[in-house]
Amino acid sequence: MARAQLDKDPAAVAEMFDDVARRYDLTNDILSVGQDRFWRRATVKAIGAKPGERVLDLAAGTGTSTAALADRGVDAVACDFSIGMVAEGKRRRPDLPFIAGDATALPFADDTFDAVTISFGLRNVSPVLQGLREMLRVTRPGGRLVVCEFSTPPVGLIDQGYRLFLRTVLTPVSRTFSSNPEAYDYLEESILDWPDQDGVAALLHEAGWRSVGYRNLSAGIVALHRGTKPLA
């Protein structure tokens, strides 16, 4: 896949993630200088799931975020469109429920989950509005959505430095540690093509989510978006 346009081919993206499943978490930890752990903790806190609640973790990858929820007593389900990621997740945490599924056609009934979350995967959903509407469909009335995604730092100098990092550091490091460096070329391009915080908030609202808001993490490199499904 040469360019990460918003009309990207889901099958090609899934195949690309299949290739990097084994070393995906390690490479991300290195590239983010450990910040991914902070982002993951912030996401779990924002979900605010109580023991016994059902939470759908989309773009779950190898289940790192799902495990953090399950270990708190949450009934967490991991779902990813990459068969390779699902297989690696099952190998690491055979106690967790892993399901291969497309975010635009989720294999779950209406009003199934108390919350849905997706971390660093909404950029890969195509079309994104259809995915957000599917997330709304499977969430119970009054339930919530939490999206953790790369974003646009609001301070110009930080944004420029971040873009420079993506162009000059991400690719060389990924070629050292990743089994498929082209996947991280895609990562860079998909981040740069992605809407800013207000743009993503508008997408959530258009998809039917209400009480939409966001807060920045790491100076806006990442944003946590939230929404609630209307009661009626």
Residues of the chain above pLDDT 90, percent: 57
CA distance 38 to 218: 9
Q: Considering Cα of 1, then 80, then 204, then 108, what sign does the dihedral take?
A: positive
Q: Render pLDDT for 19-73 as a digit per residue (tens, 0 to 9).
A: 555 555 555 555 555 678 888 999 999 999 999 999 999 999 889 999 999 999 9
| pTM (2 d.p.) | 0.83
Return the minimum-mean-pLDDT range out of 9-13, 92-96, 137-141, 204-208. Answer: 9-13
The pLDDT of residue 1: 37
In this model, does residue 76 exceed pLDDT 80? yes
CA distance 197 to 31: 22
Which of the two residues, 178 and 55, has the higher pLDDT score?
A: 55
Q: Render pLDDT for 147-176 as a digit per residue (tens, 0 to 9).
A: 999 998 987 767 787 777 667 666 666 555
The pLDDT of residue 4: 42
The pLDDT of residue 164: 72
The pLDDT of residue 35: 77
Number of residues written out for the chain: 232
The pLDDT of residue 5: 44
Burial 43-71 (b: 16+ CB within 10 A, else e): bbebbebeeebbbbbbbbbbbbbbbbbbe
Element holding 75 (H helix, E strand): strand 75-80
